[in-house]
Chains A and B, each alone.
Chain A
Amino acid sequence: MLSRLVLWLDDRLGTAHFLKHALRKAFPDHWSFMLGEINVYCFAVLLATGTFLAFNFDPSASKLIYHGPYRLLDGQPMSAAYASALRLSFAVNAGLLIRQIHHWAAVVFVAGIVTHMGRVFFTGAFRNPREPNWWLGILLFLLAMGEGFTGYSLPDDLLSGIGLRIADAVVLSVPVAGTWASFLLLGGVFPGSQTEPRLFSAHVFALPALIAGAIGLHLAIVWRQKHTQFRAPGRTENNVVGSPLFPNYAIKSAALGFAVTAVLVGLGAFVQINPIWLYGPYVAYRAASPAQPDWYVGWLDGALRLSWPWSIHLWGHLVPSPFFPGLLLPLALFGLLAGWPFLEWALTKDARPHQLLDRPRDVPWRTGAGTALFVLALGLTLAGSDDVQARYLHAPIETLTSIYRWFCIGAPPLAFAIAYALAADLRARGGAGRAPRVRLRRNADGGFDEETIA
């Protein structure tokens, strides 16, 4: 049956040559290569659950009085958007389950991207010829954060409204064009009636289309360039060794897909996420405390909390303080990531193609730099919840702020030094790349000769 389909297609499209090789294409199956696949499965779950949510959601800022199964908000004025998010949570069969799976999938999606980027960075997989895919990956990271933030903002609950207000303040802080950008993005002053439908269009149409296209291109490039591989006997710069795609690799990947989906469904069923009904509708003059964004926005919120009240006055104009942590810092960090292949090329003078991966210990300064960046992001993220920590530790918030300021300044260089030293030590002990393999051979005198295998 299947073979007849293959022949039928080949009669019309001439696909047999491609298929013959594609089915046996070699896929290295080191576990770290499957981190990226987690994201593909998360994205599939996001599309499926998101489509269901979009069909049940009313992206409208028009005001109504809520009457529904959630008694605590009965009779409250709110936007139609928030009311339909409540309806999805309480009145639509399986609505709450699908909403929570969707939110968990988004949270895991971004986590998977960060982990996958870490793998690519620490093993040097971004080097020639894979710089284009490294940049595409950074673009996907940015798109995923934007998609996550617009989705977080859609229900128009108190937390999401406050998040948007902060994002608008960052847009307003941009020199010269900020005010215009804010007015054009929001369709006027925040909060306005245009914001909600625009967030919806961005979240369900523009951004997912860009993400789907970028993922397609990302995978097409992987297919074309073939995977990198770790050093091992029989693996060279000129070959790629792994499992054949079908069925050996495909069945493993399917197992991973089922595992990812099962975990997301399990989380959606049993671990509450973003209980919007507890926050209430967005009202511009109400505040939520403590207020926490999704984890991947935490570092930006932390940066806003830690920054000094510096602003610049220029010829009767103002560059307000949120510009530096809210825009300049992320630009610098993402610029550093995007420019890293060039930086490494400039430092090592090595622009050759690399198909064999480094282990993190093989290049101590790269490992150190990556660790420092990770520790900085960790410090900023932790600072993003300093009000919660202050509450539990009974410590003044100002104390925590200065601790985190010093942490973000002092810890990254320290992390660089420690990671560098550890990697250099491991490298010194373990040789470059792998432990030497030897073969023992009995010689004519009855003793053994040692022979190193390449």
Chain B
Amino acid sequence: MSRREAAIGICLGLAAAGSVAFMAAYAAKASAQIEGLALFAALGGFFFATLGYARWIVGEARAQDARDTYPSASADRSGAVGNLEKAERTLSRGGVLTNLLLGALALFGLATLFPLRSLGPAPDGALFKTKWRRGSGLTREDGSVVRASDLEVDSVATVFPENAVGDAASQAMLIRIPSDLGPSVDGYVAYSKVCTHAGCPVALYRAATHQLLCPCHQSVFDVLHSGAVLSGPADHALPQLPIHVDADGVLRATGDFPVPIGPGFWERG
């Protein structure tokens, strides 16, 4: 046995050993790394073995083909076109019936498209409203309502209407700002947490500059000035949630967002 044959033999031995090792590792419920290593060894063995085969056993050979398959001989070409034209003439014997057939087929195709409508409900203005109503208490993820005394200055909370905790469209950022910096309700302002660019949660609050930052595409919104866009690709401000503090000190909405939340869409205007 030559050294080359021996090398290929060793590689094939590795391939076989890798397969056996994988079976053993699988039976022993070994880790992904051990199982993967066994498979890797088997495939690596096959790779080097086939490479050795290709270089030393099979070797190089030369083949040459003529490119004679197309375009076809001119008799075939004119024959194909001629037969098609003949078929067209034959079909045209149907006269108006042929057109009727085509028309009926087109209608049938249109009919098969109609069930697409069953894929989902009509938008019906669903994007224009959220679950916030006049009097909805600002409620945290854990179900507790927020009182005016709860938040430190420059801290934030994610809030929902009390009857729709976790609702994606209604999520809002409640922020307590120093009350001398801008219009607020006892220092509180609340904005939709859905970015007006592509809908990510506007989750990062830069307390030093009073900005909300979207982590997806880095739109920056000004908390002190009605959620206006300061930079980034967002094309309109974050909708502000109108709020007040009730007699018990609980923060409540005075209504829904005045404009649709989230990314823009055709009907938004």
Is B147 part of the contact surface with A, judged by Cβ < 8 Å? Answer: no
Complex Cα spacing A311 to B196, Å: 12
Shortest Cβ distance from B69 into A: residue: A224
| A25 CB contact (under 8 Å) in B63, B116, B121, B264 | B63
Q: How far is the CA of A189 from the CA of B131 in the complex (A)?
A: 13
A376 sits at the interface (CB 8 A): no
Give the contacts of B230-244 with A (CB-CB under 8 A).
231-236
Identify the closest chain A residue to B214 (Cβ): A287
- Point out the residue from B33, B47, B63, B141 that lies within 8 Å of A241, measured CB to CB: B63
Given contacts A25-B65, A165-B198, A269-B40, contact A189 B126 (CB under 8 A): yes
B245 sits at the interface (CB 8 A): no
Contact with B along A224-243 (1 / 0, CB 8 A): 11100000001001111111
Question: For residue A189, which residues in chain B have a CB less than 8 angstroms away from its CB?
Answer: 126-127, 168-169
B87 within 8 A of A: no
Report if A414 contacts B (CB, 8 A). no
A308→B37 CA distance, assembly (Å): 48
Chain A residues within an 8 Å CB radius of B176: none
Question: In whole Å, how far is A300's beta carbon from the nearest beta carbon of chain B?
Answer: 11
Interface residue range, chain A:
35 or more
A35 surroundings in chain B (CB, below 8 A)? none
Among A101, A177, A318: residue with most chain B CB under 10 A: A318
Digitize A342-367: 1 where CB-to-B-CB distance is under 8 Å, 0 elsewhere.
00000000000001000000000000
- How far is the CB of B9 from the nearest CB of chain A, in Å? 17
Q: Do A176 and B63 have beta carbons less than 8 Å apart?
A: no
Give the distance to chain B from A56, nearest Cβ to Cβ, in Å: 15
Residue in B closest to A255 when the chains form the complex, CB atoms: B50
Quick check: A174 and B198 within 8 Å, CB to CB? Answer: no
| Bound Cα distance A166, B69 (Å) | 49
B80 is an interface residue with CB less than 8 A from chain A: no
A169 touching B62 in the complex, CB below 8 Å, given contacts A97-B36, A226-B67, A321-B233: no
Binding stretch for chain B, among A78-86, A139-147, A180-188, A205-213: A180-188
> Once bound together, how far apart are the Cα atoms of A206 and B122, in whole Å?
25
Which residue of chain A has its CB nearest to the CB of B46? A258
The reply to whether B120 and A186 contact each other, CB–CB distance below 8 Å, is yes
A179 with B267: CB separation less than 8 A: yes
List chain B residues, Cβ under 8 A from A325.
Answer: 233
Note all chain A residues with C-beta closer than 8 A to B69: 224-226
Across the interface, do B233 and A309 meet the contact criterion of CB distance under 8 Å?
Answer: yes
Of the candidates A179, A188, A247, A258, the one whose C-beta lies within 8 Å of that of B266 is A179
* Chain B neighbourhood of A165, CB < 8 A: 198-200
In the complex, the answer to whether B60 meets A248 with C-beta atoms within 8 Å is: yes
Please tell me if B143 contacts chain A, counting CB pairs below 8 Å: no
Q: A265-B40, A289-B215, A311-B236 are in contact. Are A284 and B166 (CB under 8 A)?
A: yes
Asked if B60 contacts A305 (CB within 8 A), the reply is no
Q: Which residue of B lies closest to A269 (CB)?
A: B36
Residues of B within 8 A of A168 (CB): 199, 263
A94 to B36, CA, bound (A): 9
Determine the distance from Cα of A25 to Cα of B201 in the docked complex, in whole angstroms. Answer: 58
Which of the residues B66, B70, B171, B200 comes within 8 Å of A129, measured between beta carbons? B70
Interface pair B64/A290, CB less than 8 Å apart:
no
Q: Which of B60, B122, B229, B267 contacts A309 (CB 8 A)?
A: B229
A94 surroundings in chain B (CB, below 8 A): 26, 32, 35
Give the chain B neighbours of A162 by CB distance below 8 A: 200, 216
A262 and B199 form a contact (CB under 8 A) = no
Taking a contact as CB atoms under 8 Å apart, the answer to whether A96 and B32 are in contact is yes
Q: How far is the CA of A306 from the CA of B236 in the complex (A)?
A: 16
The CA of A287 and the CA of B198, in the complex, are separated in Å by 13
A333 to chain B, nearest CB (A): 19
B13 CB to nearest A CB, Å:
15
B107 to chain A, nearest CB (A): 22
Given contacts A289-B204, A318-B264, contact A179 B123 (CB under 8 A): yes
Which of these, A270, A285, A304, A309, contacts B235 with CB under 8 Å? A309
A135 to chain B, nearest CB (A): 18
| In the complex, chain A residues whose CB is within 8 Å of the CB of B50 | 251, 254-255, 258
User: B47, B121, B202 — which one has the most chain A CB atoms within 10 A of its CB?
Assistant: B47
The answer to whether B120 touches A194, judged by C-beta atoms less than 8 angstroms apart, is: yes
Interface residues of A in 144-199 (CB under 8 A from B): 162, 165-166, 168-170, 172-180, 182-191, 194
B234 nearest CB neighbor, chain A only: A309
Kindly identify, within residues 183 to 201 of chain B, every residue whose CB is under 8 Å from any CB belonging to chain A: 193, 197-201
User: Once the chains bind, are A240 and B200 in contact (CB under 8 Å)?
Assistant: no
Q: Are A251 and B58 CB-contacts (below 8 A) given A180-B123, A307-B233, A321-B233? A: yes
Indicate if the CB atoms of B53 and A313 lie closer than 8 Å: no
Task: Tell me if A387 is interfacial: C-beta within 8 Å of chain B.
Answer: yes
Residues of B within 8 A of A190 (CB): 168, 199
Residues B120 and A183 in contact, CB atoms below 8 Å apart = yes
Can you give 18 contacting A-B residue pairs, CB < 8 Å? A25-B63, A100-B32, A165-B200, A169-B197, A183-B120, A187-B120, A191-B168, A237-B67, A240-B65, A251-B54, A258-B44, A262-B40, A285-B193, A287-B203, A309-B197, A318-B268, A321-B234, A322-B264
Given pairs A286-B201, A289-B203, 10 additional interface contacts (CB within 8 A): A25-B63, A94-B26, A177-B266, A179-B266, A183-B120, A183-B121, A224-B69, A258-B44, A265-B43, A309-B235
